[in-house]
């Protein structure tokens, strides 16, 4: 009897200890939350309810709106503020929309970690998402593939790609077609042909059908990602992995990985036969893979190829889609740009990087298109505590491990930097030093990001953007009946037209 009493008392003690531990845990969490709230008190934001955070007000604000539209409306609500905060339950998310406030983060040598990103599951631990020494090693390895000498060597291949695109436009004979699909396929093929030298000349087994299959899977994956974002069930930790949406994602990723591995094996067989100078990105990766002390595995090479081809083609296609959309809306700008181009080139001319960079209005138009609708409107960071400046000369210290979203699209329209006409499409602003906000701070304009984690392929993308726009405008007049409200920009890793971009292209005489 005494033994049973002792056991019962022991159980009570255990329960008391567990209760005390749980209580201390709750108190500790509450104290940490209060400390974070205190440190972020200088930032405005949505109304924050206990436990629920900003979810109630976010539900009201986002009703019948797409994610990008919600972010833009919130940015306008806090248009005079460099940063604001929303609460996901007890977790804060700091959204920065001022280039000056982003600068300490983007120039930090330690603050280069990335928070969870919609593209992470797709791109894996590639250069885009790796951190620390892994990121530094891979960046150093791949940088030679994007030097100016390499870019200049792409001239012939760019011309062939664009002439093929012009021919595809001609097939529509003035009827409406989805320009977003065309630029996506062209950008995808071009990346395979240039960075990875998958031009089909070295192997009959690389057919157009395989290219189309790979691109089709990428489109399916992007569309599926939209469904994933809009699905409540996919967010549930238990049911989510078993939904049809997640099954489609796994099937697409499996196909991409298998096909990419197949391409690598063929490429390795033909590597010794290829004499390409300067070497392409695929050569740098394979050469590193063969070293005894290599920093890469075969899986790493697959991940990097998938990341560069798919992320690169999506961002390029996004930039081209919105550039042609703006040009179709603003016929006066399109005509002025065409005049500049035809004064310099013939419609079927091969366009070199030096010649394109010598065209001031083309440069202004592309910058303005990227300013208003950047291909990657927002990037996330989460790492060490860091102080950012506010408009009143004070600073706010963002605690460690708090998610920070750098809203690039907001910074590009921040009126305190760009003026009261920040929402207006006007390429001439880049011809006027007083209106070009880059002169005040280079971080006011960063369509491909800047700083240590700036886009490694920025010059590559810039060359292809300029060449594609120039080639198409010298041959066609682009029109559309769409408006920004009907085209619906959608944010899913990159910014794209949710329902495509229907345009007509009338051939110039």
**pLDDT confidence of residue 497:** 92
pLDDT over 90 at 211, yes or no: no
More confidently predicted of 258 and 412: 412
For residue 379, the model assigns a pLDDT of: 86
Tell me which of 239-248, 281-290, 352-361 is least confident: 239-248
- Does residue 124 contact residue 306 with C-beta atoms inside 8 Å? yes
Helices (H), 271-372: 281-290, 298-306, 312-329, 331-342, 353-357, 360-372
pTM of the model: 0.87
Average pLDDT (173-190) is 92
Please state, in angstroms and rounded to a whole number, the distance separating the CA atoms of residues 35 and 385: 13
Q: Is the pLDDT of residue 291 over 80?
A: yes
Identify the CA nearest to 198 among candidates 311, 135, 286: 286
What is the structure's pLDDT at 191? 86
Element (H, E) at 148: helix 148-152
- With cut-offs at 50, 70 and 90, classify the pLDDT of residue 414: very high
The top-scoring range by mean pLDDT among 18-32, 188-202, 443-457 is: 443-457
Query: Does 455 belong to an annotated binding site?
Result: yes
Rounded average pLDDT over 190-212: 67
CATH number of 44-107+377-446: 3.30.43.20
C-alpha distances in angstroms, 133 versus 46, 111, 166, 199, 249?
38, 13, 44, 33, 30
Lowest average pLDDT, out of 273-282, 283-292, 307-316, goes to 273-282
3-state helix, strand, coil split of the chain in percent (to 5) is 55, 10, 35
The neighbour count for residue 335, using CB atoms within 10 Å, is 12
pLDDT of residue 276: 63
Residue 237 has a pLDDT of 67
Q: Is the pLDDT of residue 51 over 80?
A: no
pLDDT at 456: 85
Residue 216 is predicted with a pLDDT of: 82
Two domains, one topology: 44-107+377-446 and 141-369+459-509: no
> So what's the pLDDT on residue 467?
96
Residue 226: what pLDDT? Answer: 66
Backbone angles phi and psi of 447, in degrees to 5: -60, -25
| Average pLDDT, integer, range 140-152 | 87
Q: For residue 176, is pLDDT > 90?
A: yes
Nearest alpha-carbon partner for 159 in 506, 458, 474: 474
End-to-end CA separation in angstroms for the chain: 106
Give the integer Cα–Cα distance in Å for 200 and 263: 11
The pLDDT, as a whole number, for residue 258 is 86
Domain boundaries, the chain: 44-107+377-446, 141-369+459-509
**Superfamily in which the 141-369+459-509 domain is placed by CATH:** Cytochrome P450 (1.10.630.10)
The dihedral over CA atoms of 155, 160, 163, 169, expressed in degrees to the nearest 10, equals -120
pLDDT in tens, 303-333: 888 888 888 888 999 999 999 999 999 999 9
Name the more confident of 448 and 373. Answer: 373
Q: What is the pLDDT of residue 2?
A: 44
274 falls in which pLDDT band (50, 70, 90)?
A: low
Average pLDDT, the chain: 84
- 3 vs 281, residue with greater confidence: 281
């Amino acid at each position: 009897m005494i033994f049973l009493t002792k056991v019962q008392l022991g159980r009570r003690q255990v329960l008391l200890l567990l209760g005390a531990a749980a209580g201390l845990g709750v108190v500790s969490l509450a104290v940490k939350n209060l400390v974070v709230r205190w440190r972020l008190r200088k930032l405005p934001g949505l109304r924050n309810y206990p436990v629920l955070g900003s979810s109630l007000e976010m539900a009201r604000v986002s009703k019948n709106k797409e994610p990008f539209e919600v972010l833009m409306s919130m940015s306008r609500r806090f248009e005079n503020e460099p940063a604001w905060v929303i609460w996901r339950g007890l977790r804060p998310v700091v959204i920065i929309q001022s280039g000056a406030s982003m600068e300490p983060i983007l120039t930090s040598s330690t603050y280069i970690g990335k928070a969870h990103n919609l593209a992470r599951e797709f791109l894996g631990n590639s250069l885009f998402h790796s951190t620390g020494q892994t990121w530094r090693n891979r960046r150093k390895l791949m940088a030679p593939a994007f030097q100016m000498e390499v870019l200049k060597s792409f001239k012939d291949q760019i011309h062939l790609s664009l002439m093929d695109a012009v021919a595809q436009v001609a097939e529509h004979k003035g009827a409406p077609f989805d320009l977003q699909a065309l630029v996506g396929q062209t950008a995808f093929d071009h990346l395979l042909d240039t960075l990875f030298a998958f031009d089909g000349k070295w192997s009959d087994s690389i057919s157009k059908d395989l290219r189309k299959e790979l691109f089709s899977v990428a489109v399916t994956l992007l569309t599926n990602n939209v469904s994933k974002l809009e699905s409540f069930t996919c967010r549930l930790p238990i049911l989510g992995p078993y939904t049809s949406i997640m099954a489609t994602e796994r099937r697409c990723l499996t196909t991409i990985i298998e096909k990419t591995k197949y391409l690598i094996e063929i490429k390795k067989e033909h590597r010794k036969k290829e004499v390409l100078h300067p070497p392409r990105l695929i050569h740098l990766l394979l050469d590193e893979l063969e070293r005894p002390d290599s920093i890469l595995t075969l899986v790493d090479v697959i991940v990097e190829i998938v990341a560069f081809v798919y992320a690169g083609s999506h961002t390029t296609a996004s930039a081209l889609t919105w550039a042609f959309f703006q040009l179709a809306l603003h016929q006066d700008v399109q005509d002025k740009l065409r005049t500049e181009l035809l004064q310099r080139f013939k419609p079927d001319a091969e366009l070199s990087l030096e010649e394109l960079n010598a065209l001031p209005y083309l440069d202004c138009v592309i910058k303005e298109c990227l300013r208003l609708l950047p291909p990657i409107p927002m990037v996330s960071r989460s790492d060490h505590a860091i102080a950012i400046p506010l408009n009143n000369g004070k600073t706010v210290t963002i605690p460690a491990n708090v998610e920070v979203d750098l809203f690039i699209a907001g910074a590009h329209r921040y009126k305190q930097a760009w003026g009261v006409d920040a929402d207006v499409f006007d390429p001439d602003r880049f011809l006027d030093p007083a209106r070009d906000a880059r002169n005040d701070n280079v971080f006011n304009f960063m369509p491909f990001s800047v700083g240590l984690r700036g886009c490694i392929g920025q010059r590559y993308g810039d060359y292809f953007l300029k060449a594609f726009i120039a080639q198409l405008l010298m041959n066609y007049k682009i029109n559309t009946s769409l408006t920004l409200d009907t085209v619906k920009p959608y944010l899913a890793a990159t910014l794209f037209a949710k329902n495509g971009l229907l345009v007509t292209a009338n051939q110039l005489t």
